[in-house]
Structure 1
Amino acid sequence: MLLDWILPVLLCAAILLAVIGAFKRINLWRQGQPDKINILHGLMQIPKRYMVDLHHVVARDKYIANTHVATAGGFVAASVLIILVYVFGFNNRILVWGLLAALTAMLIGAFFVYKRRKNPPARLSKGPWMRLPKSLFTFAITFILISLPAAGILPENFGGWLLATILLAGVVYGVAEMFFGMTWGGPMKHAFAGALHLAFHRRAERFGGGRSTALKPIQLEENKLGVEQPADFKWNQLLGFDACVQCGRCEAMCPAFAAGQPLNPKKLIQDMVVGLAGGTDAKYAGSPYPGIEVGQHQGAPLQPIVNGLVEADTLWSCTTCRACVEECPMMIEHVDAIVDMRRFLTLEQGQTPEKGVEVIENLIATDNPNGFDPSHRVNWATDLNLPLMTDVQEADVLFWIGDGAYDMRTQRTLRAVVKLLRAAKVDFAILGNEERDSGDVARRLGDEATFQSLAKHNIATLKKYQFKQIVTADPHSYHCLKNEYKDFGAAFEVYHHTTFLAEQAKQGTLKLGELNLGTVTYHDPCYLGRYNGEYEAPRELLKALGLEVTEMERSGFRSRCCGGGGAAPITDIPGKQRIPDMRMEDVKATNAEVVAVACPQCALMLEGVVEPRPEVRDIAEMLAEAVETIH
């Protein structure tokens, strides 16, 4: 029969082409910069990372999770069995029946892919992805028909030459798309790149339930600071970009995209893929950057990214909220890429927009972004008689004030925290005028030099004193002190004030009365929730106050950003609406009378929304009021 001899030849040719394509694809990734990776260990981790970590994210959409299990699982199993049966000649009935079972699972999955693609949501890219159902169907049906005689269900000469010719055409199309399409390009490219991305991920700490959110430091002695062109990325970052499935989950969660600012994280990643191979974005078939038409940009591995592949405003629109990263089933690190490109603009070209240059100059001159006299850092507390570390030298808790010390709104929160620490009889002290800015704003603006200078100075100051824990009311400072100072020789035990106070309440050292504030909703700060995984402590405190908490539709790990992170208020890229206005609409949808916050930046952004609106209160202020009710 025609298929008896030509099928193995076709399969071997497809495998050979796939291998050749794999080497070509790997060479594209190798244009990037070196990164230390344990290759063998990474390859061995693929099954676990695929089945556990990747599917933990995919499973949030049950439809796609079940579809992916059937389609991907069926395809992988079928591919292995096809090679065993038709290439190596293991024509065993058990293997053939296993092959039919795998192909049937794949066929069922293909049907659900077809249903999804028949009327796809706006976030899904179209173009080549629309042919995926046909490719899956063709592959599965063709090999089912070929395998029925081998399974003994149909006679061996069933259909004769005519059917054999038709099946041969199906094999050519199906194998072309599904086998060597994985390495030469097309929808199945994500299968090859995605598996290796899991193996060689730049943040291996994310797997196995871990968390890795600190930005990677750069060596300031390098010839080039930051990323100017695609080849400046680490090679495994380029690999990660190539793994994108264009599902648009990042797009659906991005606050800047929703606000009509010129950023779409999915389009950004696809632009990096264009730059990796060279070409234009004309064939991109998804949602564009708001206000920027597709087809106007081009790039190559050794050509500048900004004003070639993307506009600078696209990079400065990002709030670094990590909603895109949290939603990505391929675990791509969008924020790392954006900050890497910002670093080049800031450090090499001095092109920080709007008030960025002024803020950086203030940080260098006065150690705070607004240029206030550093000796006025504790003026808000002149009547509180706060103990200074320079006087006491030792305390159980070092209370980190942060640059909210210069803001009248934040000062209310700081005074509330002081009241609570004293109510719980906590032995604490502050650095006072020795404290400098944590460096969060400088780092998000791409000024790694100023961040490292501030971090090293703060670390040296902190190491002069004896304390067990650092407590701060600012999630941005909390994140820097806890996670980003580690790269510079510091390992402090750091707590956000809600976490620390929730523990005090559990232990009974902080006694709270109940408040009557009506219905309350809670806004999760990005740098407390997605960056550090703290979702429960603020809610526990609100419940301890006897408050009825109504959750917003977007809460927890899917909380919408307030718009205040990533130095976004400083770069101030215009859009169709303001991010805090959108967040306040989320609040209003709950009919809550009060929105509780746990971040000075969130309080400022939400209070900036035009009234009428629900009242904005920091949890510390509410707790301080509750303490008063029992005295």
Structure 2
Amino acid sequence: MLNTILPILLFAALALAVIGAVKRFLMWRRGRPSKVNWIGGLMSMPRRYLVDLHHVVERDRYMSRTHAATAGGFVLSALLAIAVHGFGLQSRILGWALLAATALMFVGAIFVARRRRNPPARLSKGPWMRLPKSLLMFSASFFIATLPVAGVLPAGFGSWLLAAILAVGVAWGVSELFFGMTWGGPMKHAFAGALHLAWHRRSERFGGGRSTGLKALDLENRKAPLGVEKPTDFTWNQLLGFDACVQCGKCEAMCPAFAAGQPLNPKKLIQDMVIGLAGGNDAQFAGSPYPGKPLGEHSGGPHQPIVSLQGKALVDAETLWSCTTCRACVEECPMMIEHVDAIVDMRRHLTLEKGATPGKGAEVLENLIATDNPGGFAPGGRMNWAADLNLPLMSELRQAEVLFWVGDGAFDMRNQRTLRAFVKILKAANVDFAVLGLEERDSGDTARRLGDEATFQSLARRNIATLGQYRFKTIVTCDPHSFHVLKNEYGELGGRYEVLHHSSFLDTLLKADRLNLGEHKAGSVTYHDPCYLGRYNGEYEAPRAVLKAIGIEVKEMQRSGFRSRCCGGGGGAPIVDIPGKQRIPDMRMADIKETGADVVAVGCPQCTAMLEGVVAPRPEIKDIAELVAEVLIDAPSAARTPAVRTLEIA
């Protein structure tokens, strides 16, 4: 009986899976075109799965081992089951191989079941709760059905009742795991995830690469939408990526806005995009809702606006504006989904097409257009902070080894202390540097994160034209946001430069013995990793090396490095000011106080502003440049100070 039923069940499930795969692929292809390497992507997919994806999954050892056993066992079991029970290749070797594969899968499924007995709040429930049962049923039923093939039991063993029970088990298993992969259900992520890895919109992320710069919007193409209004305005491989979500909630657990009680949950946002593409509402979502937003009130369709300014739609505008673009969600996602790209794409439509930037957003964008800085300050005052420093100007020198990009912190009295400290260090190290002075404009970071791509590109092109007049080797800046934009986002517009954050440059100076330093007496110090230096650009070691060089042992926070909690200052969040139950910088200060540190070392003007905005009592906030400047003894003698242009920049 089983020899007749099993092939029918297997091939019926496979046929339905193929039909579902075609339907799902056509659903993704409703999105805008996107160039991909079709064959190369598919060829690269196994390595991307086994290396790049598992590099992220490996952070959770329990789930890494569980996933390897369950997924690896299932793939082997499925292939061998088709060969043995589908095509009737019933050799003992294949039989034993199938027994081993199903046993491996069964062990993995037990750990999945254990995880689901008391699941973390971040995990979606609902249909996902049946997945362990389906995995166990698939592996157990095929294991028993294969025992005669392996010669463990005689052929035709058991009764018709046993055969019927096994047939039900096989039907259950193959329905969930084959049929469900393409028609919907918990296993959908396996099919979509594999193709997402093959045709990822940021293929540079694989093989140890890094890709964090936002993609430029084609403002000349009048046929293309300005940003994303409806689900089908996303590129088709973005839609594929959304469908790959495994609903593990790791993004939710790391999101500072969600933790603060603002109306954003990155996991639900991705699922809302899937709901919108297929059509429907969020009533069946089995995870945490947006804080303060009950389920069942939002709905949409593939050609309907995602955000409505008049009433309920798929997503409320304030959900998008809650994001700080800290990239913690992207860093944690085991499926390598690009949440921030999607949010900024939707912001672009609201800003460029609707003019619906909330809070002080519209005012800031107007200031950038009128005065080249977000505060609306008179451009002629950009160098007032350095009136007594006699800084060399690029317009006079025409060339220098280092171009010091001051940034809009020049208009902020608190950040001026950081800038002056860094200039003191540059002079002490006899660095050949110059500044743009009044020729410098805002880098465009804030405009771009607020969705105003037109203003960003205008500022960027003007800065690129200015920089093109001069010769320099390296741009150095104290602002990670300017650092990121200049390094990673100007290139698409023709501006390609070697750019360093001031912590990296300080580390280079110290390793070259360019500074004569004493030992700092700051007491206990903790270091706050800026999002745009760490997660965006992978720089975690240089700031710590600089602090160590001046005698400071860093007391690490529980959330540090790539899991550092955002200060709340990125992505224009302080400008749009979406309310929550608590403030993100207050949460970060609680992390800081847990260390007992007297001083917080920072490397970003926005982090400084946000953390100093926390009500006292609290630790003192000091930029790394300030800490180094405090222990400068004197300028090194000319005999031990070769010209900085021979310095090897790491």
Find out whether 1:269 has 2:274 as its counterpart.
Answer: no
Matches within 5 A, 1:61-100: 61-100=60-99
**For the Cα contact (< 8 Å) 2:515–2:635, is it kept in 1?**
no
**For the Cα contact (< 8 Å) 1:34–1:235, is it kept in 2?**
yes
Q: Which residue of 2 aligns with 1:421?
A: 426
Q: Which residue of 2 aligns with 1:510?
A: 515
Q: Secondary structure at the match of 1:582?
A: helix
**For the Cα contact (< 8 Å) 1:513–1:629, is it kept in 2?**
no
Q: Secondary structure at the match of 1:60?
A: coil
Q: Distance in 2 between matches of 1:510 and 1:241?
A: 50
Q: Which residue of 2 aligns with 1:605?
A: 610
Find out whether 1:163 has 2:162 as its counterpart.
Answer: yes
The one-letter amino acid paired with 1:558 is R
Q: Which residue of 1 aligns with 2:258?
A: 257
Matches within 5 A, 1:179-218: 179-218=178-217
Matches within 5 A, 1:549-628: 549-628=554-633
Find out whether 1:472 has 2:473 as its counterpart.
Answer: no
Q: Distance in 1 between matches of 2:261 and 2:105?
A: 39
Q: Which of 399, 405, 420 lines up with 2:404 in the alignment?
A: 399
Deviates more, 1:222-231 or 1:406-415: 222-231
Q: Which of 454, 458, 463 lines up with 1:458 in the alignment?
A: 463
Report the CA distance between 1:5 and its aligned residue.
1.5
Summarize deviations over 1:415-471 as a string: whole Å, max 9, x none: 011001111110000000000000000000000000000000000000100111100
**For the Cα contact (< 8 Å) 2:324–2:573, is it kept in 1?**
yes
Q: Distance in 2 between matches of 1:393 and 1:629?
A: 29
Q: Which residue of 1 aligns with 2:108?
A: 109
Report the CA distance between 1:487 and its aligned residue.
0.2
**For the Cα contact (< 8 Å) 1:501–1:510, is it kept in 2?**
no
Matches within 5 A, 1:325-336: 325-336=330-341
Q: Which residue of 2 aligns with 1:278?
A: 279
The one-letter amino acid paired with 1:451 is F
**For the Cα contact (< 8 Å) 1:397–1:467, is it kept in 2?**
yes
Q: Secondary structure at the match of 1:549?
A: coil
CA 1:103 to 1:340, structure 2 compared with 1: closer, same or farther past 3 Å? same
The one-letter amino acid paired with 1:243 is A
Q: Secondary structure at the match of 2:147?
A: helix
Q: Distance in 2 between matches of 1:173 and 1:193?
A: 21
**For the Cα contact (< 8 Å) 2:84–2:94, is it kept in 1?**
yes
The one-letter amino acid paired with 1:70 is A
The one-letter amino acid paired with 1:5 is T
Q: Distance in 2 between matches of 1:500 and 1:630?
A: 17
Q: Which residue of 2 aligns with 1:521?
A: 526
Q: Which residue of 1 aligns with 2:130?
A: 131
Q: Which residue of 1 aligns with 2:26?
A: 27
Q: Distance in 2 between matches of 1:531 and 1:205?
A: 14
Q: Which residue of 2 aligns with 1:48?
A: 47
Summarize deviations over 1:233-266 as a string: whole Å, max 9, x none: 0000000000000000000000000000000000
Report the CA distance between 1:178 and its aligned residue.
0.7
Report the CA distance between 1:589 and its aligned residue.
0.3
The one-letter amino acid paired with 1:195 is A
Find out whether 1:321 has 2:326 as its counterpart.
Answer: yes
Report the CA distance between 1:548 and its aligned residue.
2.0
**For the Cα contact (< 8 Å) 2:429–2:635, is it kept in 1?**
no
Q: Distance in 1 between matches of 2:348 and 2:634?
A: 50
The one-letter amino acid paired with 2:469 is K
Q: Which residue of 1 aligns with 2:226?
A: 225
**For the Cα contact (< 8 Å) 2:428–2:634, is it kept in 1?**
no
Q: Distance in 2 between matches of 1:336 and 1:240?
A: 11
Q: Distance in 1 between matches of 2:72 and 2:5?
A: 27
**For the Cα contact (< 8 Å) 1:18–1:183, is it kept in 2?**
yes
Q: Which residue of 2 aligns with 1:442?
A: 447
Deviates more, 1:585-594 or 1:2-11: 2-11
**For the Cα contact (< 8 Å) 2:568–2:584, is it kept in 1?**
yes
Q: Distance in 2 between matches of 1:427 and 1:630?
A: 14
Q: Secondary structure at the match of 1:309?
A: coil
**For the Cα contact (< 8 Å) 1:241–1:273, is it kept in 2?**
yes
Q: Secondary structure at the match of 2:517?
A: coil
Find out whether 1:311 has 2:312 as its counterpart.
Answer: no
Report the CA distance between 1:511 and its aligned residue.
2.4
Equivalent residues, number = 630
Find out whether 1:370 has 2:375 as its counterpart.
Answer: yes
**For the Cα contact (< 8 Å) 1:481–1:494, is it kept in 2?**
yes
Q: Distance in 2 between matches of 1:151 and 1:160?
A: 19
Report the CA distance between 1:7 and its aligned residue.
1.1
Q: Distance in 2 between matches of 1:455 and 1:157?
A: 75
Summarize deviations over 1:34-76 as a string: whole Å, max 9, x none: 0000100000011100000000000000000000000000000
Report the CA distance between 1:523 and its aligned residue.
0.1
Q: Which of 424, 434, 438 lines up with 1:433 in the alignment?
A: 438
The one-letter amino acid paired with 1:602 is C
Report the CA distance between 1:132 and its aligned residue.
0.4
After superposing on structure 2, the runs of 4+ consecutive aligned residues of structure 1 that deviate more than 3 Å are 628-631
**For the Cα contact (< 8 Å) 2:145–2:166, is it kept in 1?**
yes
**For the Cα contact (< 8 Å) 2:391–2:435, is it kept in 1?**
yes
Q: Which residue of 2 aligns with 1:348?
A: 353
Q: Which residue of 2 aligns with 1:536?
A: 541
TM-score, normalised relative to structure 1: 0.99
Q: Distance in 1 between matches of 2:96 and 2:69?
A: 17
**For the Cα contact (< 8 Å) 2:282–2:295, is it kept in 1?**
yes
Q: Distance in 2 between matches of 1:556 and 1:439?
A: 26
Q: Which runs of 5+ in 1 are unaligned?
A: none
Report the CA distance between 1:331 and its aligned residue.
0.1
Q: Which residue of 2 aligns with 1:293?
A: 294
Q: Distance in 2 between matches of 1:144 and 1:45?
A: 32
Q: Secondary structure at the match of 1:80?
A: helix
The one-letter amino acid paired with 2:154 is P
Report the CA distance between 1:509 and its aligned residue.
1.1
Q: Distance in 2 between matches of 1:399 and 1:6?
A: 74
Report the CA distance between 1:600 and its aligned residue.
0.4
CA RMSD of aligned residues (A): 0.8
Report the CA distance between 1:629 and its aligned residue.
7.4
Q: Distance in 1 between matches of 2:451 and 2:492?
A: 17
Find out whether 1:380 has 2:389 as its counterpart.
Answer: no
Q: Distance in 1 between matches of 2:626 and 2:363?
A: 32
CA 1:630 to 1:420, structure 2 compared with 1: closer, same or farther past 3 Å? closer
Report the CA distance between 1:160 and its aligned residue.
1.7
Q: Distance in 2 between matches of 1:509 and 1:550?
A: 27
Q: Which residue of 1 aligns with 2:552?
A: 547
Q: Secondary structure at the match of 1:552?
A: coil
Q: Distance in 1 between matches of 2:572 and 2:5?
A: 61
The one-letter amino acid paired with 2:461 is K
What percentage of aligned pairs have identical amino acids? 71
TM-score, normalised relative to structure 2: 0.96
Q: Distance in 1 between matches of 2:99 and 2:419?
A: 66
Q: Distance in 1 between matches of 2:300 and 2:337?
A: 21
CA 1:521 to 1:629, structure 2 compared with 1: closer, same or farther past 3 Å? farther
Q: Which runs of 5+ in 2 are unaligned?
A: 637-650
Q: Secondary structure at the match of 1:521?
A: strand
Report the CA distance between 1:628 and its aligned residue.
3.7
Q: Distance in 1 between matches of 2:207 and 2:239?
A: 23
**For the Cα contact (< 8 Å) 1:403–1:437, is it kept in 2?**
yes
Q: Secondary structure at the match of 2:10?
A: helix
Q: Distance in 2 between matches of 1:170 and 1:431?
A: 72
Q: Secondary structure at the match of 2:472?
A: strand
Q: Secondary structure at the match of 2:292?
A: coil
Find out whether 1:245 has 2:246 as its counterpart.
Answer: yes
Report the CA distance between 1:88 and its aligned residue.
1.7
